Amino acid sequence: MSRLKSAKLALPLLVAAAVVTGCASGESGIASPGVTDQPDGTNTVPGTPTSSPGAGLSAVDACSLLTPTELRAVANFDEGTSKTVGTGRTCEWKENSSEEDASILTATIRENGGIDGIEDKGYGTRSGAIGTNGREVVEVPTRVGCVVAMAVGADERVEVGVGHLGEDLNRTEMCQTAGKVVELIDPKLPQG
């Protein structure tokens, strides 16, 4: 098997697990559902995976976080595949491309640590807030792309990873893409 193909097989795991070693643990927070009042008295965001009050991310399916239309706005990704990577529930979308070095997008839900313990992977980190909810985010460029971790309460987070193998790897573009995806996902998540 060629070195590129071997590396390509490892890419999904590398992207999804890029910030696993930076997990932080603590007490669980209380999350409340979305922001729009519905006739039945529940609060949800249209098109959002629903969860019961106080459930945090436990009822959220990673593959339901992006619609096909949203995926097409980012790139030409195939349908997502659910898997467990470490302690996270991950959805992986592969770019529909004939090229050997197509990109991969992942969304990983972690209920065992916020963003405080996220570690630098050797390329620096940037912290800030995103969206109308002001959620804290940490951008972590990696060897194969970029991960943006978004806080959902003190002890939960969603990580969006964009990875690419090949000579044309551009971490800045990967981080911009991950940031765009985080903006799409943000309003769909429960408040922490």
Question: Is 148:137 a contact under the CB 8 Å cutoff?
Answer: yes
Core vs surface per residue 153-166: b (16+ CB within 10 A) or e:
bbbbbbbbbbbbbe
Q: What is the pLDDT of residue 154?
A: 86
Place of tokens 């009042």: 37
**Burial (Cβ within 10 Å: 0-12, 13-18, ≥19) of residue 41:** exposed
Minimum mean pLDDT range among 34-38, 130-134, 155-159: 34-38
- The three-state secondary structure class of 12 is helix
pLDDT in tens, 36-63: 233 333 333 333 443 444 458 998 999 9
The predicted pLDDT at position 112 comes to 92
pLDDT for 138 beyond 90: yes
SS3 helix, strand, coil % of the chain, rounded to 5?
25, 30, 50
Q: What is the chain's length?
A: 192
User: Do the strands 43-44 and 145-151 form a parallel or antiparallel pair, or are they unpaired?
Assistant: unpaired
Instruction: Give the pLDDT confidence score for residue 164 in this predicted structure.
Output: 83
DSSP H/E element including 182: helix 171-185
Q: Please give the average per-residue pLDDT across 112-133, as a whole number.
A: 90
Give the list of residues 6+ apart from residue 6 with CB closer than 8 angstroms, or none: none
With CA atoms as reference, report the closest residue to 66 among 81, 80, 56: 80
Out of 21-25, 29-33, 64-68, 79-83, which region has the weakest mean confidence (pLDDT)? 29-33
